[in-house]
Chain A
């Protein structure tokens, strides 16, 4: 039986009805229309469904929608501010940190988490942090470049 649920997503309170077994990723995509969160596997390997739960990167296929009720959820759609790209998003555009773009929202949200914990990570740290986000197109180097650039932009903005 579907049950009523209220999720806090991208700063808004959203009401929906889902079956208890519904994964957060399905609730976001199918019920709330937030299709920037992608599904690339069914074993929690690919990271395409990564979102932020209380500012920590989480694969939304590993969480039931009902488990996310008390959390603040941020999806890729919630990262830009009034149509203004987040500095991390801008860095990925300018430093060619994407090709097909299917893994990109997950990669960017993992980066948000990483840079919030470690504002100036080295490339080994970045590569380690991203090992749960599979990218088949880029070979990762421009992703690392983008994260480094984003780190610089965020620190510059903060100082």
Chain B
């Protein structure tokens, strides 16, 4: 084992192919006889489909078919996106796929799509979240749902038990889930508080905005196996969803996870059922590449949320009670939502004497809710961390010091009802406090301010396995089925190299398909490095046992007296008595060889979580004339367990922070009052661009995860959690204005500064 390899910045393994254009993304592969698909999206937010007129489209040269729901060989009658890839009778959001034009060329598919006429019978659209909950509200879905919507929630894990149903409350049928976490006497705890602050916080629907639109290709092999090549975060979960959709045996489905052009939670078996259904119906290869417009309209963004929050504390800053009522817009998604996780995370990494946290999942006629990096966390942190800033102000306390007095440590019981595992909340806050920007905050020019906020992501667990194989040239191949969303393969290489005793550049990593690969969960919940990485470590150690056994015979030295260093097995204390791994592999991998192949297989099944805490400092300037917020500088401190590759860790920290800047200032999917989407291009939906993003200082804090590979943990989601509230708190520091709706668009900030009522979006 060579721990000196850990913690060294190295380029990504896939970087050379990506900078030269050699990488084949999911839209790039050539397939013989390929047909191209284009969906027809509902123009109505809520309607019955009266008729789909396909005749004109079918007469377009090159159009092969116009498919509707009944043309797909679906075996399940549910109404989730797997069971109903095309709307059957009722459309429940504007943008829902209603039909699929399949043609010989993309251009013909586009022409065909323009010729399809759909006749709708409009139904009342449920657009407003709060109105949707009221008893007697029109229902967002009229036809009964026949089957449940799978268990995609489990992918994101991190949600502890400890939920209970909310008390009886008069709610409409649009409320599909309620959660209540409570403990202690909240009323008494507020009564005993010296300061209590409260507010209502609103966040919009937010889009993952992966730059590669959703894409999948499906075909049948001669054996009848359905093959789907796709841009997905999870090959096994996609296989399971397709098996459910079409009632196919698992072994008759092969999912190939292609290199991901960004995903951020949005690519979980969403379009594959549609593409696979078309390929099964037509018995020809079919590819669907969503246009950006269709991707905006028909995919699964992060839900809008309304949070009513109240918190209290004593004069010394000790937190007393927290009470939340959190309304989560599910859109058309009845299968899962973030009520569980958002009510857990709204308490932050802090101790409370009493809590009462309620969550409501509400169906509306807007999108299908899906995951976006740390789903349910930025919304919760926005409410909590801006209110804590206000609380610190009310008590005259330093905001970091106040948080430190309440920060959880290992063993503290959280609102989930479970004790926190090892967690670096104190270490992160102390590290942030030491940054010069925090000390400069009192001596800034007018119009500027510095704010801070903290948050965490609990991390996820899922059993996983990996294989390490040494070839006759002495190099190693690591095989896993984890989609490489964030550079995990580069991390696997260094884990394997260190655990085996090889140079990292002698290790390559292969992402296998579901027919050949060891099991791995989907890349979500910040769990891949923690879980699959642990399996890789075990597999490399298992391979090392094999090489030591063979070397022991070759050198006539007991295995315990041998070590493997840089690809050479040598006697401990007598390095001249040695044999290379390559030589042993050559002796093994041949006709009549005497040693087992140098291969290892191992699995992992951690039960302890590995939460990651991240805290931010934001420095802003606010233009009082226009309401524009300029980001001047940003600092993030994050507990990453152990930075396997600091360059990639910093990349996650900066990337997540930047997405938080989008939450804070730019991003919102807007519908008009009747439920039609107003923002279906990057013209209308702004994501951070290069000259609006400041320098981001990264402070890596390492509190090793006891059960992670070399102490590493999942780090992808934590950085986005509290970036926005740090910016909002900085705006408050600069102007005194407490903003309670994201994003902080210039009109909203200007209205807050001038005292005019903000112009609300519908």
Interface string of B9-40 (1 = CB under 8 A from A): 10110111111111111011010000000000
Instruction: Assess whether A139 is in contact with B212, with CB atoms less than 8 Å apart.
Output: no
Stretch at the interface among A52-60, A63-71, A128-136, A151-159: A128-136
Instruction: Assess whether B681 is in contact with A43, with CB atoms less than 8 Å apart.
Output: yes
**A24 adjacent to chain B (CB < 8 Å):** no
Knowing A100-B261, A102-B211 are in contact, say whether A141-B15 is a contact too (CB < 8 A): no
In whole angstroms, how far apart are the Cα atoms of A126 and B689 in the complex?
12
**A5 adjacent to chain B (CB < 8 Å):** no
Instruction: Assess whether B21 is in contact with A36, with CB atoms less than 8 Å apart.
Output: yes
Using CB atoms, name the residue of chain B closest to A34.
B21
Give A102 Cβ to nearest chain B Cβ, in Å.
3
List of A residues within 8 angstroms of B15 by Cβ: 92-93, 96, 98, 101
In whole angstroms, how far apart are the Cα atoms of A76 and B213 in the complex?
20
List of B residues within 8 angstroms of A45 by Cβ: 681-683
Instruction: Assess whether B16 is in contact with A93, with CB atoms less than 8 Å apart.
Output: yes
Instruction: Assess whether A137 is in contact with B689, with CB atoms less than 8 Å apart.
Output: no
Instruction: Assess whether B654 is in contact with A139, with CB atoms less than 8 Å apart.
Output: yes
Instruction: Assess whether A101 is in contact with B18, with CB atoms less than 8 Å apart.
Output: yes
List of A residues within 8 angstroms of B485 by Cβ: 100
Instruction: Assess whether B292 is in contact with A43, with CB atoms less than 8 Å apart.
Output: yes
In whole angstroms, how far apart are the Cα atoms of A36 and B11 in the complex?
20
In whole angstroms, how far apart are the Cα atoms of A96 and B647 in the complex?
7
Count of residues in B whose CB is under 8 Å from the partner chain = 58
Knowing A19-B107, A128-B691 are in contact, say whether A137-B655 is a contact too (CB < 8 A): yes
**B264 adjacent to chain A (CB < 8 Å):** yes
In whole angstroms, how far apart are the Cα atoms of A108 and B22 in the complex?
14
List of A residues within 8 angstroms of B28 by Cβ: 29, 35
List of A residues within 8 angstroms of B64 by Cβ: none
**A3 adjacent to chain B (CB < 8 Å):** no
**A16 adjacent to chain B (CB < 8 Å):** no
List of A residues within 8 angstroms of B682 by Cβ: 41, 43, 45-46, 134
Instruction: Assess whether A41 is in contact with B681, with CB atoms less than 8 Å apart.
Output: yes
In whole angstroms, how far apart are the Cα atoms of A41 and B24 in the complex?
18
Instruction: Assess whether A40 is in contact with B23, with CB atoms less than 8 Å apart.
Output: no
List of A residues within 8 angstroms of B22 by Cβ: 36, 77
Using CB atoms, name the residue of chain B closest to A77.
B21
Using CB atoms, name the residue of chain B closest to A102.
B261
List of A residues within 8 angstroms of B212 by Cβ: 38, 40, 100, 102
In whole angstroms, how far apart are the Cα atoms of A85 and B21 in the complex?
11
List of A residues within 8 angstroms of B19 by Cβ: 76, 85, 89, 92-93, 98, 101, 104-105, 108
Contacts between the two chains (Cβ within 8 Å), count: 175
In whole angstroms, how far apart are the Cα atoms of A137 and B210 in the complex?
8
CB contact between A96 and one of B12, B107, B209, B695 (< 8 Å): that residue: B12
CB contact between B25 and one of A30, A96, A99, A102 (< 8 Å): that residue: A102
Instruction: Assess whether A127 is in contact with B691, with CB atoms less than 8 Å apart.
Output: yes
CB contact between B210 and one of A37, A104, A136 (< 8 Å): that residue: A136
List of A residues within 8 angstroms of B11 by Cβ: 93-94, 96
CB contact between A141 and one of B648, B654, B659, B689 (< 8 Å): that residue: B654
**A103 adjacent to chain B (CB < 8 Å):** yes
Interface string of A77-89 (1 = CB under 8 A from B): 1011000010001
Give A129 Cβ to nearest chain B Cβ, in Å.
8
Instruction: Assess whether A39 is in contact with B689, with CB atoms less than 8 Å apart.
Output: no
Knowing A35-B21, A42-B292, A139-B658 are in contact, say whether A103-B16 is a contact too (CB < 8 A): no
**A21 adjacent to chain B (CB < 8 Å):** yes
Instruction: Assess whether A39 is in contact with B27, with CB atoms less than 8 Å apart.
Output: yes
Instruction: Assess whether B651 is in contact with A134, with CB atoms less than 8 Å apart.
Output: no
Instruction: Assess whether A136 is in contact with B30, with CB atoms less than 8 Å apart.
Output: no
In whole angstroms, how far apart are the Cα atoms of A40 and B683 in the complex?
13
Instruction: Assess whether B20 is in contact with A138, with CB atoms less than 8 Å apart.
Output: no
**B657 adjacent to chain A (CB < 8 Å):** yes
Instruction: Assess whether B690 is in contact with A130, with CB atoms less than 8 Å apart.
Output: yes
Give A108 Cβ to nearest chain B Cβ, in Å.
6
Give B494 Cβ to nearest chain A Cβ, in Å.
15
Give A137 Cβ to nearest chain B Cβ, in Å.
5
Using CB atoms, name the residue of chain A closest to B28.
A35
In whole angstroms, how far apart are the Cα atoms of A8 and B261 in the complex?
28
List of A residues within 8 angstroms of B687 by Cβ: 134, 136
Instruction: Assess whether B18 is in contact with A104, with CB atoms less than 8 Å apart.
Output: yes
List of A residues within 8 angstroms of B289 by Cβ: 39
CB contact between B21 and one of A76, A98, A103, A127 (< 8 Å): that residue: A76
List of A residues within 8 angstroms of B690 by Cβ: 126-128, 130-131, 133, 135, 140, 143-144
Instruction: Assess whether A98 is in contact with B261, with CB atoms less than 8 Å apart.
Output: no
**B486 adjacent to chain A (CB < 8 Å):** yes
Give B111 Cβ to nearest chain A Cβ, in Å.
10
Instruction: Assess whether A38 is in contact with B261, with CB atoms less than 8 Å apart.
Output: yes
List of A residues within 8 angstroms of B647 by Cβ: 96, 142
Instruction: Assess whether A42 is in contact with B681, with CB atoms less than 8 Å apart.
Output: yes
In whole angstroms, how far apart are the Cα atoms of A53 and B14 in the complex?
27
In whole angstroms, how far apart are the Cα atoms of A38 and B259 in the complex?
13
**B727 adjacent to chain A (CB < 8 Å):** no
In whole angstroms, how far apart are the Cα atoms of A49 and B331 in the complex?
33
List of B residues within 8 angstroms of A46 by Cβ: 211, 292, 682
**A112 adjacent to chain B (CB < 8 Å):** no
List of A residues within 8 angstroms of B9 by Cβ: 96
> Which parts of B251-280 form the interface with A (CB within 8 Å)?
259-262, 264
Instruction: Assess whether A99 is in contact with B211, with CB atoms less than 8 Å apart.
Output: no
In whole angstroms, how far apart are the Cα atoms of A6 and B106 in the complex?
22
Using CB atoms, name the residue of chain B closest to A83.
B20
Using CB atoms, name the residue of chain A closest to B215.
A39
Give B704 Cβ to nearest chain A Cβ, in Å.
24
**B620 adjacent to chain A (CB < 8 Å):** no
CB contact between B292 and one of A40, A76, A143 (< 8 Å): that residue: A40
In whole angstroms, how far apart are the Cα atoms of A102 and B106 in the complex?
21
Knowing A42-B291, A96-B647, A105-B21 are in contact, say whether A139-B209 is a contact too (CB < 8 A): no
Instruction: Assess whether B23 is in contact with A99, with CB atoms less than 8 Å apart.
Output: no
In whole angstroms, how far apart are the Cα atoms of A72 and B196 in the complex?
68
In whole angstroms, how far apart are the Cα atoms of A74 and B237 in the complex?
40
Instruction: Assess whether A139 is in contact with B18, with CB atoms less than 8 Å apart.
Output: no
> Which parts of B503-557 form the interface with A (CB within 8 Å)?
none
**A48 adjacent to chain B (CB < 8 Å):** yes
> Which parts of B647-681 form the interface with A (CB within 8 Å)?
647-648, 650-651, 654-655, 657-659, 681
**B487 adjacent to chain A (CB < 8 Å):** yes
Give A77 Cβ to nearest chain B Cβ, in Å.
5
**B5 adjacent to chain A (CB < 8 Å):** no
CB contact between B262 and one of A39, A136, A142 (< 8 Å): that residue: A136
In whole angstroms, how far apart are the Cα atoms of A40 and B214 in the complex?
10
In whole angstroms, how far apart are the Cα atoms of A96 and B19 in the complex?
11
Residue ranges of B at the interface with A (Cβ–Cβ < 8 Å): 9, 11-12, 14-25, 27-28, 30, 106-107, 208-213, 259-262, 264, 289, 291-293, 485-487, 647-648, 650-651, 654-655, 657-659, 681-683, 687-691, 693, 695-696
21 A-B residue pairings within 8 Å (CB atoms): A34-B21, A39-B289, A41-B213, A42-B293, A45-B683, A93-B15, A96-B12, A96-B651, A98-B18, A102-B25, A102-B211, A108-B19, A128-B690, A131-B691, A134-B209, A136-B655, A136-B659, A137-B651, A137-B655, A141-B696, A142-B647
- Add 16 more A-B contacts to A35-B28, A100-B485, A104-B19 (CB < 8 A): A22-B107, A36-B20, A38-B212, A40-B213, A92-B19, A93-B12, A94-B11, A108-B19, A127-B690, A130-B691, A134-B211, A134-B689, A135-B211, A136-B209, A138-B658, A139-B688
Residue ranges of A at the interface with B (Cβ–Cβ < 8 Å): 19, 21-22, 26, 29-30, 33-43, 45-46, 48, 75-77, 79-80, 85, 89, 92-94, 96, 98-105, 108, 124, 126-128, 130-131, 133-144
Closest A-B pairs by Cβ, 7 of them: A36-B21, A101-B18, A102-B261, A76-B21, A139-B658, A45-B682, A139-B654
